[in-house]
């Protein structure tokens, strides 16, 4: 029996990124036998050439492409529209500025092939940054338990259709990735060996704004969906671990600490719920 996977890419004015994102997807290793795939570019509220650039791609064998142009911006609305249009029994959610490795999509398809409620992602790598501040922050951040343990899922995550049926429409929240991850118990989350490249925002001010948004998103999930916290397997580092981080990378530890302190001040507050800061 043929199985289909759907790769959903919400994209708001991503003309500078959508080409590389799609090129990486379509350069994937051959899918498992009996598996076909579709990509849905969810162009929401775009005023640039995101949709046109996506439609111009030549598709490899076994792949299909839909470009949904939605008049209103907003990631959650785009995800709801994409879920309704997707034909796959496996759903892969991919940020438009992420580059998947050749093995990631086939490995996700294989990990979710039995159709039981399950969540999966790959091994993230932070893309090289231009800013020295971002490079220092990233060095420390990638040593934290959130990054090194479990299945983080930021930038790209996947689930079976049966897993997606655990909730109705995507709720209007900041941290859709956290909501999705915590909708599955640790034993239902799988990390495959293949990786992907995820860009971190550049510069101190943008790091603070995005970190503030991330904190607010996690707090919002905890307040609105407290039952999901039972599925959280991420523990903050203890004093001994913090000392090891400090000794391993003093500059990175300093930048990370300064960002965490600045988050608590109103100076870097964002006026919107979505802060990317590129």
pLDDT tens string 80-114: 999 999 999 999 999 999 999 999 999 999 999 99
CA-nearest of 67, 58, 63 to 9 is: 67
Calculate what percentage of the chain has a pLDDT beyond 90.
85
Host H or E run for residue 50: helix 50-55
User: What's this model's pTM, rounded to 2 decimal places?
Assistant: 0.93
pLDDT tens string 129-162: 999 999 999 999 999 988 988 899 999 999 999 9
3-state helix, strand, coil in the chain (%, to 5): 40, 20, 40
pLDDT at residue 277, as a whole number: 47
- CATH class of the structural domain 3-268: alpha beta
Strands across the sheet containing 35-44: 63-70, 35-44, 3-11, 90-94, 156-160, 119-126, 189-198, 99-100
pLDDT tens string 3-29: 899 999 999 999 999 999 999 999 999
Domain assignments of the chain as residue spans, ordered by start: 3-268
What token pair was written down for 78? Answer: 């785009």
- Say if CB 42 and CB 82 are below 8 A apart: yes
pLDDT tens string 48-76: 999 999 999 999 988 999 999 999 989 99
Distance CA 180, CA 167 (A): 10
DSSP string, 131-195: SHHHHHHHHHHTTSHHHHSS---SSEEEEEHHHHTTSSSPPS-S-HHHHHHHTS-GGGEEEEEEE
């Amino acid at each position: 029996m043929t199985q289909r996977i759907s790769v959903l890419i919400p994209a708001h004015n991503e003309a500078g990124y959508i080409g590389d994102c799609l090129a990486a997807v379509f350069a994937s290793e051959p899918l498992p036998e009996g598996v076909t795939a579709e990509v849905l570019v969810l162009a929401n509220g775009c005023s640039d050439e995101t949709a046109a650039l996506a439609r111009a791609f030549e598709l490899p064998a076994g792949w299909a492409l839909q470009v949904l142009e939605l008049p209103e911006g907003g990631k959650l609305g785009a995800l709801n529209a994409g879920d309704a249009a997707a034909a796959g029994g496996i759903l892969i959610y991919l940020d438009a500025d992420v580059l998947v490795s050749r093995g990631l999509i086939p490995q996700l398809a294989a990990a979710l092939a039995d159709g039981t409620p399950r969540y999966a992602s790959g091994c993230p790598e932070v893309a090289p940054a231009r800013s020295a501040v971002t490079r220092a922050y990233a060095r420390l951040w990638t040593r934290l338990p959130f990054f090194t343990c479990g299945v983080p899922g930021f930038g790209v995550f996947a689930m079976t259709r049966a897993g997606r049926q655990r909730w109705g429409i995507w709720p209007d929240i900041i941290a859709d990735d956290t909501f999705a991850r915590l909708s599955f118990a640790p034993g239902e989350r799988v990390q495959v060996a293949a990786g992907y490249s995820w860009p971190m925002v550049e510069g101190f001010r943008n790091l603070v704004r995005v970190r503030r948004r991330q904190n607010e998103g996690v707090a919002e999930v905890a307040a609105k969906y407290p039952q999901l916290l039972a599925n959280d397997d991420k523990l903050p580092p203890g004093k001994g671990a913090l000392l090891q981080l400090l000794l391993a990378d003093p500059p990175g530890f300093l930048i990370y600490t300064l960002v965490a302190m600045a988050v608590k001040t109103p100076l870097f507050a964002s006026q919107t719920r979505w802060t990317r800061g590129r």
